[in-house]
Amino acid sequence: MATIRDVAKLADVSVSTVSLALSNPARVSQKTLEKIRQAIAAVGFVADPLAQSLARGRSRMIGFVVGNVGNPFFGDIRRELENYALDHQHFVVVTDSSGKTDRERALVEHLIGLKTAGLALAPSGYDQDYLDFIAGLNVPIVCFDQKVAGIERDFVGSDNYLAGAMLTEHLLQLGHRRIAFITGPSHMHTATERYRGFADTMANAGVEVNPNFVVDGQFTRAAGYEAAMRLLIQPERPTAILGANNAVALSALQAMQELGFRCPEDISLAMIDNVQWSSVITPRITMVVQDTLALGGIIARRLMHRITNPQGAVEPPQDFVLTPKFVPGNSCRRI
Amino acid sequence: MATIRDVAKLADVSVSTVSLALSNPARVSQKTLEKIRQAIAAVGFVADPLAQSLARGRSRMIGFVVGNVGNPFFGDIRRELENYALDHQHFVVVTDSSGKTDRERALVEHLIGLKTAGLALAPSGYDQDYLDFIAGLNVPIVCFDQKVAGIERDFVGSDNYLAGAMLTEHLLQLGHRRIAFITGPSHMHTATERYRGFADTMANAGVEVNPNFVVDGQFTRAAGYEAAMRLLIQPERPTAILGANNAVALSALQAMQELGFRCPEDISLAMIDNVQWSSVITPRITMVVQDTLALGGIIARRLMHRITNPQGAVEPPQDFVLTPKFVPGNSCRRI
DNA sequence: TTATTAAATCGAACCGGTTCGATAAAGTCT
DNA sequence: AGACTTTATCGAACCGGTTCGATTTAATAA
């Protein structure tokens, strides 16, 4: 590999001039610039990003940290970020914490060690220790998905309260009263907001919620399945189930299928967030989806703004909350 | 941040001794080691990975390059690799080429620039230019999924011929004769092998394949859908469709549903490779799946072996081919 | 023409580690 | 005790860039 010194030698200028020509061509004379250009081409010089990062104290990498890269929600956001970053000479380093806080922390520390220019982070923690950790990071960070109280950073996400409310209202309009709700982890903002949207809408409609109809699905497949089973074996069953995310809702569908319930004839089902092959799942689940592309775009622009603008770093954190979209399926019947 | 010089000063030894103590403690005397240990703890020293990489010419990062991180097949492999790498002080950088060869190339070049210790690569190219590019990379590489003729690297994958043959035989056993096959891109090894398995098994059974029953689905959703539609509008329809991968098979299911065909009553369906929520797709698709966890484990071990063992780098490339597994569903009926 | 200012270029230090040959200290052999 | 190893430590060069104050050169003003 050719180094900057090879270029300098060939162009018969000093190393610092070559460096200057690369970073700020306007400050180098035309003929010198030309000599350097030719020398660079002749030796095939490409600056070593590692050496640059070490010297500058900042790299051109952006860290992307989520709990599950396989989730299409994160996948769409990742793609948007990658495209935007690439257009701005930045490179996205994707990492997966598997939803584990300690793993996430290790990854973030590693990324900081790499002197990443910025971080797009879907936070997985919430306690004081975690907050301190995030607060201590001296890098532009845009958080998304989970709004965590106490993190003073930009946040990009959807109106989860509305998401829960929309589906609840839809079920109420169809005549349902015995509506069950499979929740997510209580420490997650998305989970509590979606539940609030459900509970408030029920209350506003004057419909009392059977406490046995609210079960914890942890946003996971296993817990969601168990929670759904608990719902289905009750003597007085719900007429509709609302899953707080895709995993718990589809687990509920599976449980229903296994027990012999038909959807929507016996029980209606609705969920928040899409999955990859939802169009071939029978019945097509009625859902509320987030505008992942828009979210990704905002995250990308906001992060690059903070990274590239000198004064962008000190701007106060801002929240961007998008409205989710109702996507009707045929999993909810009128009763 | 504390540097190695701070440690050296405090421990009253030279910088090189500290470095040696860190990389090869056995070669430093006990008492010096202890002094250094204390000094490190006192100043809170953590080695800067960038500086290390620059000096060593190698980093502790492993590049993971695939066409679609969202595909659970790659997701499982990624997870295995991450776990194994983490246990060996290595860090996986995930990248997604979206299946585009030029993008993959840019990513690989970037990773090489980062002086990654090794690459786990699902190759997307096949022409001479691509082969030269891969051959020119002076880094441990383990290729997987696609076996590309001419790449002299370790390869880890499944017996795709067998996968195609197994499902074909199954359909034949159920009495099907008019079996359609939706193929993948002809330059992909997995695609051609799966097709060979199909064609050979049909031939061995003395069943002639209707040329109209072999359509190109490009392994993608869009092309798969179109290909399936072409099959379904033929006057003499197939009684069974075999999808060469999950995307084309599920697109076929969607097409069938949209046109009003019932599966398996009207048309049977089988596919190669699983998808995330296959258990809630009706009907449960009969499929052949790869042992992703085992594949991931082999990839991880093989790559780390080459990275960490001095002589591992020069070992001749080796192929690891696993046998896929038949997973019966209820999408194929006896006729 | 000379003093003053601006533009172009350079040298050296620096980022934070690693590596290797040289030197010093300790141990072994005859 | 002297010669020869082995072990422990060190200094300096190096990885490949950036940065900034100093110096040289060119342009403008008086």
User: B220-274: per-residue pLDDT in tens?
Assistant: 999 999 999 999 999 999 999 999 999 999 999 999 999 999 999 999 999 999 9
What does the block give as tokens for B118?
Answer: 């090794």
Of B69, B98, B280, which is closest to A257 when you measure between CB atoms?
Answer: B280
In this prediction, residue A313 carries a pLDDT of 73
**Residue B46 touches partner A, C-beta closer than 8 Å:** yes
Lookup: nucleotide whose C1' is closest to A57 CA: C15
Tell me: the pLDDT tens digits for A71-127?
899 999 999 999 999 999 999 999 999 989 999 999 999 999 999 999 999 999 999
Size of interface A-B (CB pairs under 8 A): 98
According to DSSP, residue B212 is labeled G
CA distance A215 to chain B (A): 21
From the Cβ of A31, is strand C under 7 Å away?
yes
Chain B residue with CA closest to A66: the answer is B94
CA A237 to centroid of chain Cα atoms: 35
Distance A19 CA to D22 C1' (A): 18
Tell me: the pLDDT tens digits for B199-233?
999 999 999 999 999 999 999 999 999 999 999 99
**For residue B311, is pLDDT > 90?**
no
Backbone CA torsion sign across B13, B17, B21, B22: positive
In whole angstroms, what is the distance from residue B215 CA to residue B183 CA?
6
Q: Domain A160-289: state its class.
A: alpha beta
**Residue A93 touches partner B, C-beta closer than 8 Å:** yes
Of B54, B96, B257, which is closest to A50 when you measure between CB atoms?
Answer: B54
Distance B33 CA to C30 C1' (A): 35
In whole angstroms, what is the distance from residue B74 CA to residue B312 CA?
25
Q: Does domain A56-158+293-323 have CATH number 3.40.50.2300?
A: yes
CA distance B167 to chain A (A): 21
Q: Where are the domains of chain A?
A: 4-47, 56-158+293-323, 160-289
**For residue B313, is pLDDT > 90?**
no
Low-confidence ranges of chain A (pLDDT < 50): none
pLDDT-derived band at B314 (thresholds 50, 70, 90) equals confident
Cα atoms in the 13 Å half-sphere on the side-chain side of A296:
18
In this prediction, residue A257 carries a pLDDT of 95
Residue B120 contacts by C-beta under 8 Å, 6 or more apart in sequence? Answer: B62, B63, B64, B65, B77, B81, B141, B142, B144, B299, B300, B303
Q: What is the 3-state secondary structure (H, E, C) of chain A?
A: CCCHHHHHHHHCCCHHHHHHHHHCHHHCCHHHHHHHHHHHHHHCCCCCHHHHHHHHCCCCEEEEEECCCCCHHHHHHHHHHHHHHHHCCCEEEEEECCCCHHHHHHHHHHHHHCCCCEEEECCCCCCHHHHHHHHCCCCCEEEECCCCCCCCCEEEEECHHHHHHHHHHHHHHCCCCCEEEEECCCCCHHHHHHHHHHHHHHHHCCCCCCHHHEEECCCCHHHHHHHHHHHHCCCCCCCEEEECCHHHHHHHHHHHHHHCCCCCCCCEEEEECCCCCHHHCCCCCEEEECCHHHHHHHHHHHHHHHHHCCHHHHCCCCEEEECCEEECCCCCCCC
Of A71, A78, A282, which is closest to B282 when you measure between CB atoms?
Answer: A282
Across the range B312-325, mean pLDDT stands at 92
The superfamily CATH assigns to domain B56-157+293-323 is: Response regulator (3.40.50.2300)
For strand D, the positions having any atom within 7 A of a protein Cβ are: 7-12, 14-21
Tell me: the pLDDT tens digits for B44-60?
999 999 999 999 999 99
Across the range B267-296, mean pLDDT stands at 96
Closest to B264 in 3D by CA, of B169, B333, B315, B311: B333
Q: Are the C-beta atoms of B114 and B90 separated by less than 8 Å?
A: no
**Residue B275 touches partner A, C-beta closer than 8 Å:** yes
What is the per-residue burial (b if ≥16 Cβ within 10 Å, else e) of B89-124? ebbbbbbbbebebebbbebbebbebbbbbbbbbbbb
What does the block give as tokens for A258?
Answer: 């296994």
- Measured between beta carbons, the chain B residues lying within 8 angstroms of A275 are 276-277
Tell me: the pLDDT tens digits for B95-153?
999 889 999 999 999 999 999 999 999 999 999 999 999 999 999 999 999 999 999 99
In this prediction, residue B17 carries a pLDDT of 95
In whole angstroms, what is the distance from residue A246 CA to residue A220 CA?
9
Angle at which helices B4-11 and B30-43 cross, to 10°: 130
- Measured between beta carbons, the chain B residues lying within 8 angstroms of A282 are 257, 281-282
**Residue A273 touches partner B, C-beta closer than 8 Å:** no
In this prediction, residue B271 carries a pLDDT of 98
**For residue B310, is pLDDT > 80?**
no
**For residue B312, is pLDDT > 90?**
no
Residue A169 contacts by C-beta under 8 Å, 6 or more apart in sequence? Answer: A201, A205
Task: Check for a shared fold between A56-158+293-323 and A160-289.
Answer: yes
Across the range B292-298, mean pLDDT stands at 98
In this prediction, residue A312 carries a pLDDT of 74
Across the range B74-97, mean pLDDT stands at 94
Across the interface, do B50 and A72 touch by the CB < 8 Å criterion?
Answer: no
Chain A residue with CA closest to B63: the answer is A93
Closest to A217 in 3D by CA, of A228, A206, A207, A203: A228
According to DSSP, residue B321 is labeled E
In this prediction, residue A210 carries a pLDDT of 96
Taking the domain B160-290, which CATH number applies? 3.40.50.2300
Closest to B123 in 3D by CA, of B102, B146, B140: B146
The secondary element (H helix, E strand) that includes residue B308 is: helix B292-308
Q: Mean pLDDT score of chain B, rounded to an integer?
A: 95
From the Cβ of B45, is strand C under 7 Å away?
yes
